[in-house]
Amino acid sequence: MKKTLYIISTFLLLISVNAEQTSFFYDLKDNHIELAEDVFIFSSSKEKNKLSLSWDIKEGYYLYLSSILIEKDDLPVDYKIDEADILFHQDEFFGETKIIRETLRISLKDSDQTSNSKIFYQGCSDKGFCYPIQTINLK
C-alpha cells in the first residue's frame, strides 16, 4: 500500500513539475524583446530648408516626450512638434510624465544646420521593458 501511494505521489509530482515548466517556458516566449528600431520606426525627409523627422511607434510601446533631443556640436537644436499622440503617464521611476504613442512627427527649419547632428530618444513597452537611450546620427 505504501509503495503504491509512493508511486502515485511521485507520478503526480512529476506531472505538476512538467506542467509548471511548460507554463514557465510559455511565459518566456511571450517576453521576447524586439529591437528598438523595429518598434520605434524612424524616417526622415528633407524638403527645401526643412527637415522632417518621424517615428511610427508600434502598438504596446511609447516614447518619452522629454527624451526627444537633437544636438549639433553638443548644443541643443530647437524643433517643432507637427504631430503626436501625447498622453500623461504615471511612470514607476519618473512619476507623471508625457509619453507619445503611435506617431511622432517633428520638423526643423534650417536643414543645413542639422547635418552631422545627433537625435536621442528613449521609449518603453507596456510590458515594463525600457530601452536604453537610442542615438541616430544625421549626415
What are the residue boundaries of the structural domains of the chain, listed by start? 1-32, 36-137
Average pLDDT value for residue range 24-43: 77
**What pLDDT, in 10s, does the model give residues 72-113?**
988 999 999 999 989 999 888 778 999 999 999 999 987 666
Provide the whole-model pTM: 0.74
Higher pLDDT, 12 or 57: 57
Average pLDDT value for residue range 13-33: 52
Q: How many CA atoms lie within 13 A of 21 on its CB side?
A: 6
Give the span between the Cα atoms of 25 and 70, in whole angstroms: 41
What does the mean pLDDT of the chain come to?
82
Please state the φ and ψ torsions of residue 32, each to the nearest 5 degrees.
-60, 130
pLDDT score of 25 more than 50:
no
9 to 15, 22, 66, 98, 119: CA distances (angstroms) = 10, 20, 57, 54, 61
What CATH number does the domain located at 36-137 have?
A: 2.60.40.1250
Give the span between the Cα atoms of 3 and 21, in whole angstroms: 27
